[in-house]
Structure 1
Amino acid sequence: MTKVTSSSLRLDSIDVFRAVTMFLMIFVNDLWTLEDVPDWLKHSKAAEDAMGLSDVVFPGFLFIVGLSIPFAIANRRKKGDSNALIIRHILERTFALLLMGIFIVNYENIAGEAMMVSKYVWEIGMVVAFFLIWNVYPSNPDKKGLYTALKVAGYLLLVVLAVIYKGGDAEHPAWMETHWYGILGLIGWSYLLGALTYVLTGDRLGWAVAGWLFFVLFNLADFAGVLDLLDPVKHYVWIVGSGSMPAFVMGGVVASVVYRNRANQNGVGSAYLLILMVLGVVCLAYGFSTRPFWGISKIRATPAWVGICTGISFLAFAFFFWLVDLQKIKNWANVIKPAGTATLTCYLIPYIWYAVITLAGISLPMSVRTGGIGLVKSACFSLLVILLTGAINRIGVKLKI
Structure 2
Amino acid sequence: MFSDSRIYSVDLAKGIALILILYLIEFSEGITGDWFFGNLYHSGTSILYTLILSFFFFVSGIAVPFRLSKRINDGQSVYDILKSVFAISLIMITAGAMLVNIPRVNKELTGFGPGVWAVILVISIFLVWNRYPEKDNNFFTVSGLRITGLAILVFLVFKFRSGTWENNGSLITGHWEIPGLYGWGLLASSLIWLIVRNSVSGTVAAWFFFLALNIFSVLGLNNILNPAHRYFGVLIDGYIPFIFISGMLAGVMIKHYPSGNKGKLISMLTFTGIIMSAAGLLLYFKVLPPEGLYGQPSWALTGAGLSMLLFVVILYFYDLEDKFKIKFAENTGRSFFTGYIIAFFLYGIADIARVDLHASGNGSLPALSFAVPLLFSFVVTCITVILSRIGIRLRF
Cα distance change of structure 1 residues 291 and 168 upon mapping to structure 2, 3 Å threshold: farther
Q: Determine if contact 1:45/1:297 at 8 Å carries over to the other structure.
A: no
- Paired with 1:74 and 1:154, the residues of 2 have a C-alpha distance of 32
1:115-150 CA deviation, whole Å, 9 max, x = no partner?
Answer: 212321111110001000111111221120110011
Aligned residue among 319, 330, 338 for 1:337: 330
Worse-superposed segment, 361-370 or 127-136: 361-370
Provide the identity percentage.
22
Cα deviation, residue 265, structure 1: 3.2
- Which sections of structure 1, spanning at least 5 residues, go unmatched? 36-41
Cα deviation, residue 168, structure 1: 4.3
Partner residue of 1:117?
112
Cα distance change of structure 1 residues 216 and 102 upon mapping to structure 2, 3 Å threshold: same
Aligned residue among 281, 284, 287 for 2:277: 284
Alignment-mate amino acid for residue 301 of structure 1: G
Aligned residue among 66, 75, 80 for 1:71: 66
- Paired with 2:332 and 2:89, the residues of 1 have a C-alpha distance of 21
Aligned residue among 289, 295, 301 for 1:301: 295
3-state SS of 1:295 partner: coil
Partner residue of 1:204?
199
- Paired with 2:218 and 2:46, the residues of 1 have a C-alpha distance of 18
- Paired with 1:195 and 1:242, the residues of 2 have a C-alpha distance of 18
TM-score, normalising length from structure 2?
Answer: 0.89
- Paired with 1:379 and 1:300, the residues of 2 have a C-alpha distance of 25
Q: Determine if contact 1:19/1:339 at 8 Å carries over to the other structure.
A: yes
Say whether 1:166 aligns with 2:186.
Answer: no
Partner residue of 1:22?
18
Q: Determine if contact 1:298/1:305 at 8 Å carries over to the other structure.
A: no
1:192-240 CA deviation, whole Å, 9 max, x = no partner?
Answer: 1111001111111110111111111221233345445655665575553
Q: Determine if contact 1:43/1:52 at 8 Å carries over to the other structure.
A: no
Q: How many pairs does the alignment contain?
A: 386
Cα distance change of structure 1 residues 322 and 296 upon mapping to structure 2, 3 Å threshold: farther
Cα distance change of structure 1 residues 229 and 140 upon mapping to structure 2, 3 Å threshold: closer
Please give the root-mean-square deviation of Cα atoms over the aligned residues, in Å: 2.7
Partner residue of 1:181?
176
Q: Determine if contact 1:369/1:375 at 8 Å carries over to the other structure.
A: no
TM-score, normalising length from structure 1?
Answer: 0.88
Say whether 1:311 aligns with 2:305.
Answer: yes
Which is helix-richer, 1 or 2? 2
Aligned residue among 135, 142, 160 for 2:137: 142
Aligned residue among 381, 386, 389 for 1:386: 381
- Paired with 2:393 and 2:225, the residues of 1 have a C-alpha distance of 43
Say whether 1:353 aligns with 2:346.
Answer: yes
Alignment-mate amino acid for residue 328 of structure 1: D
- Paired with 1:300 and 1:364, the residues of 2 have a C-alpha distance of 27
- Which sections of structure 2, spanning at least 5 residues, go unmatched? 32-38
Q: Determine if contact 1:34/1:369 at 8 Å carries over to the other structure.
A: no
- Paired with 1:108 and 1:304, the residues of 2 have a C-alpha distance of 30
Partner residue of 1:222?
217
